[in-house]
C-alpha cells in the first residue's frame, strides 16, 4: 500500500472534483490523503470518503480572485508572498515525510511544484491542454480576441504571439516562488509556463482535441475527467423533465459571477422553456429570477443525460465534458482563453455554439439557445460525441499511470 497526497485548490470546483475522481480510481489498497487550504468544496472530499487535512495559511477572498486571474492568464499580478509560499511548502514537505507519500497529485496548487520536488517524489498534474506550455507554444490562435472575421483572426494571431512570449519566455513568475524554490534546493521557477509544468502532466482531453499538436516528454493524453458528485438528483429535475416544455441546464461552475448568473437566468426566463440552474452559490438574498428558472445547489450533472434538452455553460472543461458525455448540446460562454478553447473545440465538432459572455442576454444568445434546442444537426453531433466518450475514463488512466510509478 502507498500513500498518495492530493493537493487541489479547494476553492476551485472542477479541480477538486477532478482530484476526487482520480482518488476514486486508485486501487483501494492505496491511501488517498487530501490537503487543502480553503474550505469551499471540502465537503465533496469528505463526502467521497477521503481523509482531509486543512492547511494554513489560507487565501482571503480578494487573494483568491487575484490568483484565479493569474492562473487564467488574465493578470500577471499574484497574491503569493514569500511568507505564505514558504509556510505552505514547509507544511507540504512535512506531510509528505510524515505520511510517507510516494506521489503527489496536484491541480494548480503552485506550492506543490516546489514541495514535491524538494522531497524527491513524483508530481502528477491532471490538466486540460489549454494554456499548458505545449499548447501556448504551438497554437496559432488562443482566442484572446473575439470574432471570426479576417481582422479578428489577424488580431488574435498577433495577440497570441505576444502572449506566447510572455507566457513561455518572460521571467514573470512570482518572485516569492523562485525564492522559496531556491531555499528548498529546487530550480527557480521563472516563467509562467514553468509554474504549471509537473513531472507527469496528464492531459485530460479527447484525442481529436490535440490534432495538429505534438506532446513533449512528460505529457500524456489520459482522456476526459469530470465530476461525479455522489448525490441524487432533486425531484424538481425529474418533474421538469416530464413537463411538455424543453428543459435547459444552466451551469456556471465556480469561475463565473453573480452578474452573469442573473443576466443569463433572466434571459432564459423569456423563452418557452424550463431551466434548472445550480447557481445558488452566486445569488444573494433578494435576487429574483423568472418563475420558469429553478435555482438549485450543485447537481450531479453526469446524471442529466436523457433528462435535459440543452445546456448553457461557462466553458470550464469539466462542465463541457459532462455535456459531451451525456449527449447534451450546449451554448458555451468561455470566460477566459482556456474555457473559450474548450467551447471552440466542441463548436468545431458540431455539438455546441460558442458565444461571448459579453453577449449573454442578447438576441444572439437567445437565438443560439433556440438553435441548440431545435437543430437536428447539432443534436446528431451531440449523440456522436456521447458515443465517442463511452469508455473514455481519464481518471482511471491517470490512476494506472500513478500506480505504475510507485
Q: Give the pLDDT confidence of 314-353 residue by residue, as tens digits.
A: 999 999 999 999 999 999 999 888 899 999 999 999 999 9
pLDDT in tens, 386-399: 999 998 999 999 99
Query: What is the structure's pLDDT at 152?
Result: 85
Is the confidence at residue 68, as pLDDT, over 80?
no
Residue 71's pLDDT is what?
63
CATH class of this structure's domain 235-389: alpha beta
Distance CA 215, CA 122 (A): 19
Q: Is the pLDDT of residue 9 over 70?
A: yes
CB-based burial, 346-363: b 16+ in 10 Å, e otherwise: bbebbbbbbbebeebbee
Q: What is the band of 73 on the pLDDT scale with cuts at 50, 70, 90? A: low
pLDDT at residue 371 greater than cutoff 90 = yes
Question: CA dihedral defined by 259, 284, 11, 255, rounded to 10 degrees?
Answer: -10
Which one, of 9, 14, 8, lies nearest residue 254 by Cα?
14
Confidence at residue 326, expressed as pLDDT on a 0 to 100 scale? 97
d(CA 27, CA 15): 21
Name the grid cell of 271.
423563452
Q: What is the pLDDT of residue 72?
A: 58
Q: Domain ranges in the chain?
A: 3-227+393-405, 235-389
Q: Specify the DSSP class assigned to residue 4.
A: E
Angstrom distance (rounded) from CA 55 to CA 51: 13
What's the mean pLDDT in 239-244?
Answer: 96
Q: Model's pTM, two decimal places?
A: 0.92
> What percentage of the chain exceeds 90 in pLDDT?
81
- Residue 378: CB atoms within 10 A of its CB come to 20
pLDDT of 102:
98
Spatial contact of 109 and 123, defined as CB atoms under 8 Å apart = no
Name which of 39, 2, 27, 69 is nearest 16 in CA terms.
39
What is the predicted pLDDT for the residue at 70? Answer: 67
3-state secondary structure at position 354 = strand
- The phi and psi torsions of 73 (rounded to 5 degrees) equal 80, 15
User: Are the CB atoms for 111 and 78 separated by under 8 Å?
Assistant: no
On average, the pLDDT of the chain sits at: 94
DSSP 220-273: EE---------SPPPHHHHHHHHSSS-EEEEE-TTT--HHHHHHHHHHHTTSSS
User: What digits encode the pLDDT tens for the residues 140-176?
Assistant: 998 888 777 888 889 999 999 999 999 899 988 889 9
d(C-alpha 143, C-alpha 96), whole Å: 39
Locus of grid cell 469528505: 46
Q: What is the average pLDDT across 25-37? A: 97
pLDDT band for position 117 (cuts 50, 70, 90): very high
Question: Distance between CA 306 and CA 326 in Å, rounded?
Answer: 8
Assign domain 3-227+393-405 to its CATH architecture: 3-Layer(aba) Sandwich (3.40)
Closest CA to 389 of 338, 351, 337, 333: 351
Give the full edge-to-edge strand order of the sheet including 3-7: 51-54, 31-36, 3-7, 101-106, 122-127, 200-203, 219-221
Residue with cell 450546449: 330
Which among 12, 181, 196, 194 is positioned nearest to 88, based on CA atoms? 181
Is the distance from CB of 161 to CB of 155 less than 8 angstroms? no
* 183-225 pLDDT per residue, tens: 999 999 889 888 889 999 999 999 999 999 999 999 999 999 9
Q: What is the largest CA-CA distance in the chain?
A: 64
**CATH topology agreement for domains 3-227+393-405 and 235-389:** yes
Give the pLDDT of residue 69: 72
Amino acid at each position: 500500500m502507498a500513500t498518495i497526497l492530493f493537493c487541489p485548490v479547494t476553492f476551485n470546483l472542477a479541480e477538486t472534483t477532478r482530484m476526487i475522481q482520480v482518488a476514486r480510481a486508485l486501487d483501494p489498497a492505496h491511501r488517498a490523503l487530501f490537503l487543502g487550504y480553503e474550505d469551499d468544496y471540502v465537503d465533496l472530499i469528505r463526502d467521497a470518503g477521503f481523509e482531509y487535512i486543512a492547511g494554513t495559511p489560507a487565501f482571503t477572498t480578494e487573494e483568491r480572485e487575484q490568483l484565479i486571474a493569474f492562473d487564467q492568464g488574465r493578470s500577471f499580478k499574484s497574491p503569493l508572498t514569500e511568507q505564505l509560499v514558504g509556510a505552505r511548502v514547509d507544511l507540504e514537505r512535512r506531510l509528505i515525510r510524515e505520511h510517507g507519500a510516494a506521489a503527489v497529485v496536484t491541480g494548480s496548487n503552485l506550492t506543490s511544484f516546489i514541495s514535491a520536488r524538494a522531497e524527491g517524489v513524483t508530481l502528477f498534474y491532471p490538466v486540460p491542454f489549454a494554456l499548458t506550455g505545449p499548447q501556448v507554444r504551438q497554437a496559432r490562435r488562443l482566442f484572446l480576441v473575439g470574432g471570426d472575421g479576417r481582422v479578428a483572426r489577424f488580431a488574435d494571431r498577433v495577440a497570441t504571439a505576444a502572449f506566447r512570449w510572455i507566457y513561455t519566455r518572460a521571467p514573470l513568475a512570482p518572485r516569492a516562488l523562485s525564492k522559496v524554490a531556491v531555499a528548498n534546493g529546487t530550480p527557480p521557477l521563472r516563467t509562467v509556463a514553468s509554474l504549471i509544468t509537473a513531472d507527469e502532466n496528464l492531459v485530460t482531453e479527447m484525442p481529436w482535441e490535440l490534432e495538429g499538436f505534438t506532446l513533449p516528454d512528460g505529457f500524456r493524453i489520459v482522456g476526459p475527467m469530470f465530476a461525479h458528485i455522489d448525490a441524487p438528483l432533486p425531484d424538481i429535475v425529474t418533474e421538469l423533465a416530464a413537463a411538455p416544455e424543453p428543459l435547459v441546464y444552466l451551469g456556471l461552475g465556480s469561475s463565473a459571477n453573480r452578474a452573469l448568473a442573473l443576466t443569463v437566468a433572466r434571459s432564459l426566463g423569456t423563452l418557452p422553456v424550463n431551466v434548472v440552474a445550480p447557481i445558488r452559490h452566486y445569488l444573494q438574498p433578494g435576487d429574483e429570477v423568472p418563475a420558469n428558472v429553478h435555482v438549485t445547489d450543485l447537481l450531479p450533472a453526469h446524471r442529466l443525460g436523457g433528462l435535459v434538452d440543452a445546456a448553457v455553460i461557462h466553458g470550464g472543461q469539466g462542465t463541457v465534458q459532462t455535456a459531451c458525455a451525456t449527449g447534451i448540446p450546449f451554448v458555451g460562454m468561455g470566460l477566459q482563453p482556456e474555457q473559450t478553447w474548450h467551447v471552440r473545440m466542441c463548436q468545431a465538432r458540431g455539438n455546441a455554439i460558442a458565444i461571448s459572455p459579453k453577449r449573454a442576454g442578447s438576441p444572439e444568445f437567445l437565438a443560439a439557445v433556440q438553435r441548440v434546442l431545435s437543430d437536428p444537426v447539432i443534436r446528431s453531433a451531440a449523440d456522436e460525441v456521447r458515443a465517442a466518450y463511452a469508455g473514455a475514463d481519464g481518471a482511471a488512466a491517470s490512476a494506472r499511470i500513478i500506480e505504475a510509478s510507485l
